Amino acid sequence: MTKNWPDIERKYFMSTFKRLPIVLVRGEGVRVWDEEGKSYLDMVAGIAVNVLGHGHPAVVNAVADQAKKLIHVSNYYYSIPQLQLAELLVENSCGDRVFFCNSGAEANEGAIKLARKFGKIHRNGAFEVITVSGSFHGRTLATIAATGQAKFQEPFMPMPAGFKNVPFNDIEAIKRETTPLTCAILIECIQGESGVHPADPQYIKDLRRWCDEQGLLLMLDEIQTGMGRTGKFLAYENYGIEPDVFTMAKGLGGGVPIGALVARESAACFTLSDHGSTFGGNPLACAAGVATVEHILNNGIVDNARIMGELLLSGLRSLQAKRSIVREVRGVGLMVALDLQQDKAHQLVDSALSKGLILAATGPSTIRMVPALIIAKTDIEEAISKLDEVLAML
């Protein structure tokens, strides 16, 4: 290493991240390189962020061109990339209006604020948002309160008020907990952080019907599932329903930080000064977003995610048949998880890394794969064969 980066991290950085012992300096397509020049097949892609892989010319050129023209202006003025990206998102979804921010948590914060405003206008001041167990909605105070996992909340009690958490895939629980104070339901169609757990199709349909009957907003967190990851541009398309509100981030800028809150006209109740963001809709991030969304929609990337996802899943199923340590495999498109019989996920990630394969553990016994959507058949085959080797060593 050019410097002892781990020591520098220990000295200067808040210790919130458990790092794997590599220093990444470069990437191209589905591969990244460390300081020593060793290459890795990246099945994590910045946690579902680098949807077009690393160094994709569409993203690189858009960022470079925009940087030369205008990196940032405030939202006091019109700027073109922001409006182009808003148009693209609306024309390719059920949404009518967009608000841009800088991350997933911030997009969900915006959704929660929007739901409260909606409750004030349409439901006598209702402000409660119902969320489900095993969900993940971000790390700000409101979004950890929305997240249905105690470990994210415990060090920071008390939580902000206005959230109710109920079991996942249980429509009766939602109905039981809906009161005159409820304004919205916030949910992921396919839970990502907790290990790729898809909602039952009937559950999502029932949720849609319940929200319609009760006048509640159905808000979908598409931060991880959006951008084609599940074999559809947005995951709700797999379920045959449309939400009132959805949030995006992760892959939206092809690696550049950006978030979006999208709402149908009936839910888009923010008016002048209700919400804002200094960096939100920044020209650089939005130019990256335009390039990424256009490339995904115009080059069959969504279909590639579906086809490669099926290939990856069937490869994992054959490993499951062969290696008894594999308990279960799950996936929709290129959002895939593998459960082990024992708590050896971190060990598996470590040995995969030494074989040049980047995986992520989402729990003691669960591995998640969310590779770039441009991944090819030969890359999938390489991932499966390396995984087979490391499974044999466990």
Ligand X SMILES: *Cc1c(COP(=O)(O)O)cnc(C)c1O
Q: Which residues are at the interface with ligand X (CB under 6 A)?
A: 103-105, 108, 136-138, 188, 192-193, 221, 223-224, 249-250
Q: Which long-range contacts (CB under 8 A, 24 or more apart) does 141-146 make?
A: 142/108, 142/109, 142/112, 143/105, 143/108, 143/109, 143/112, 146/108, 146/112, 146/186
Nearest approach in angstroms of CB 289 to ligand X is 14
Query: Looking at beta carbons only, is 103 or 178 nearer to ligand X?
Result: 103
Query: Looking at beta carbons only, is 223 or 375 nearer to ligand X?
Result: 223
CA 50, 51, 52, 57 dihedral sign is: negative
Query: Looking at beta carbons only, is 105 or 349 nearer to ligand X?
Result: 105
Nearest approach in angstroms of CB 170 to ligand X is 19
Query: Looking at beta carbons only, is 103 or 351 nearer to ligand X?
Result: 103
Query: Looking at beta carbons only, is 47 or 384 nearer to ligand X?
Result: 47
Nearest approach in angstroms of CB 204 to ligand X is 15
Nearest residue to ligand X, scored by beta-carbon proximity: 104
Contact between 316 and 73 (Cβ < 8 Å) = no
Nearest approach in angstroms of CB 137 to ligand X is 5
Query: Looking at beta carbons only, is 104 or 289 nearer to ligand X?
Result: 104
Nearest approach in angstroms of CB 49 to ligand X is 9
Nearest approach in angstroms of CB 143 to ligand X is 7
- State how far the alpha carbon of 81 is from the alpha carbons of 8, 63, 233, 291, in Å: 38, 11, 20, 10
Cα gap 255→345, rounded to integer Å: 26
Residues in the chain: 394
Q: Which residues contact 285 (CB under 8 A, 6 or more apart)?
A: 100, 102, 253, 256, 257, 258, 279
